[in-house]
Amino acid sequence: MPLTEHETWDAGDMGCGELVLELRLRLLAMPGRVLKLVATDAGAPEDIPAYCRMTRHELLQAQHPLYWIRARTPS
Amino acid sequence: MSGKFLVSLTHAKNDTDKATVAFVVANAAVASDKEALVFLSIEAVRLAQPGYADDIHEEGFAPLKDLMANFVKAGGKIYVCSPCFKKRKLDETQLIDGAVVVGGAKLVEFMGEACPSVSY
């Protein structure tokens, strides 16, 4: 079943700390909603899943360079 | 003995002594049943390109390409800094066995709350 995103962010070739810092701000502003991220950086396939595991944002689907992430809700 | 162990390496042909000793120590870690990781950043990302390390052989040590191959064969991981790699316009489709291009989040996850590390 195709995923439906509430917002899309094309991060282009942004990577590493820059990418996850900007991603953090965007996800915290949309709790419970789904962000479709476009990230072409070669490190993204490893980084985005790791970032989501550490921060409790839910990586719903990953098909580089596309990532669907449900932003965590405040605990 | 178990647990994680990180070797951070920032040099390649600009300091072959450091590049070599880093992998000697990494091999000691993986031989000691550590979950060992070598993080290649700055100039060291060049070591992830096939053939680059072939002519690095410090006196008194095994050739670097053998040290690296043995590390991976023993289960060691090699992470390659994505922005450092990109800055040098290296080919991300051409990587040695066991090397993975990552960003900072992957390294932070590996290190967790407490991880011994040594830097070269």
Reported ipTM: 0.78
A43-60 pLDDT tens trace: 999 999 999 999 999 999
What is the count of structural domains for chain B?
1
Distance CA B59, CA A62 (A): 46
d(CA A58, CA B68): 35
The answer, yes or no, to whether the previous bond of A65 is cis (omega within 30 of 0) is: yes
Mean pLDDT of chain B: 95
Mutate to test the interface with B, among A13, A14, A16 (most CBs of B within 10 A): A16
Which domain CATH number covers B54? 3.40.1260.10
The answer to whether A16 and B81 are in contact (CB under 8 A) is: yes
Residue pairs spanning A and B at CB distance below 8 A: 56
Residue A46 contacts B, CB cutoff 8 Å: yes
With contacts defined as CB-CB under 8 Å, which chain B residues touch A46?
A: 79, 100-103, 106
Give the tens place of pLDDT for each residue, A3-43. Answer: 899 999 999 999 998 999 999 999 999 999 999 999 999 99
Range of B101's domain? 4-119
Chain segment B20-62, per-residue pLDDT in tens: 999 999 999 999 889 999 999 999 999 999 999 999 999 999 9
CA distance readout (Å), B92 to A51, B25, B89 = 21, 26, 9
The residue among A41, A48, A55, A56 with the most chain B CBs within 10 A of its CB, best to mutate, is: A41
Taking an 8 Å cut-off on Cβ atoms, the answer to whether A16 and B108 are in contact is: no
Show the domains of chain A with their CATH numbers. Answer: 7-70 (3.30.110.40)
Q: Any idea of the CA torsion for A54, A57, A60, A61, to the nearest 10 degrees?
A: -60
